[in-house]
Amino acid sequence: MTEQELTNGRGRPIVTMVVSVILATAFGFSAGLVAGQPVVRDLVDSYFSPNALSEAEITEQSEAVAELLQTEEDRRISTVESVSPAVVSVVVSKDMPVFEQYYSDPFGGIFGDFPGMQIPQLRQKGTERQDVGAGTGFFVSADGMIVTNRHVVADESADYTVVTSDGEKHTAQVLGRDPSNDLAVLKIDGENWPFLPFTTNEPRVGQSVVAIGYSLGQFSNTVSAGIISGLSRDITAGDGRGNSEQLYDVIQTDAAINPGNSGGPLLNLDGQVVGMNVAVEQNAQGIGFALPANDIRRVVDSVVETGKISRPFLGVRYLMINEDLAKSNQLTVDYGALVVRGDSQTDLAVTPGSPADKAGIVENDIILEVNGERLDEDNPLTRAIRDLRAGDTVHLKILHHGEEMEVEAVLIERE
């Protein structure tokens, strides 16, 4: 694995992602049900006791609950109505080959016009501009800056069109694709575009959220509602074509995220962006994932400040060490990042001239710590440096030729 985690929708193909995750706490729910049985019995006993609520009190409380539920529904409707103009569709188009059928005589006409001698064949007849995929995005500034998932706009040879909520089409320019997260920034011409603010509060499990997206690549501004059901999830996401990447600290939600929703906003009931829809677990219901707002905001800030997405680069390929890897390779430690070359001759363990190279790191070294933080499968090298900036000095503890030593490296910008 490299520092850069591997890169990774109508009737047309849809840009989407598939997630591979393991949920290890499913047993907790059934245990909670068993533990809760005495409470249910106590409630039943109290209901028939002399101190039970009167019919009028029960009615009053029921009306209060109904009012609360109605209030949340009104807030949800109000949120959707206010934010929908800021959500857009991102359509992918490119020149595709067009084929025509013709008939050919494989025997060169030696049998004349004998029936059955003409074989149907296909040949290319130029190219035709076609829509080949779609995703979702949303405005983050009044001057037309839009964010979406990188995998929606991954094809550098394609053209991208933004379709706003009024159905108007606008040519989009890709300002940047994040090399270490599934984020990209687009821009269209114009001013006074409606845009979505980011939440200033940390998301909380149980918080009500709304997901909006271009569902299944056909239905614009499709809305689904749910709650945040988990935080700080690490997942491996793939696009079904062999590409995959590691995503860290993502938000888990039971709000339905469908193919084509990629890049759409996950919002709280105040209409603030909590996250960006990114992936769905296809082997389970009610498990979707979103990139957190802070990650999106950092990318937007980088583009505003520098005109591009800037990420730090150390310059190594690595594998995270666990007990099995340590045992099979007779390593002296069972944690850290083992610096290794890839399968291709050009996949060098250490990039020549990189910060790692200048610090003296070589193939088969093990990076044990970054700035005092131990590296392991829960805290891989990519996570340890992702929030740093080009120009930052990192202190590395490494195992070099069997000996522990400390070195420093000045991070550069990833190209």
Among all residues, which ones are annotated catalytic? 151, 182, 262
**Cα distance between residue 149 and residue 257, in whole Å:** 14
Helix ranges restricted to H, 128-185 = none
Closest alpha carbon to 247 in 149, 366, 356, 373 = 149
- Scanning the structure block, which residue is given the tokens 């997901």? 211
**Cα distance between residue 19 and residue 245, in whole Å:** 10
In the structure encoding, which two tokens stand for residue 63, read together? 């009306």
Q: Which DSSP helix (H) or strand (E) runs through 40?
A: helix 37-47
| Tally of CB atoms within 10 A around 79 | 22
125 and 95 Cβ atoms separated by less than 8 Å:
no
> For residue 86, what is the DSSP state?
G
**Cα distance between residue 244 and residue 237, in whole Å:** 5
**Cα distance between residue 303 and residue 184, in whole Å:** 10
The terminus-to-terminus CA distance of the chain in angstroms comes to: 18
**Cα distance between residue 135 and residue 155, in whole Å:** 13
* Backbone dihedral angles phi then psi of residue 190, each to the nearest 5 degrees: 120, 170
SS3 328: helix
SS3 250: strand
How long is the chain?
415
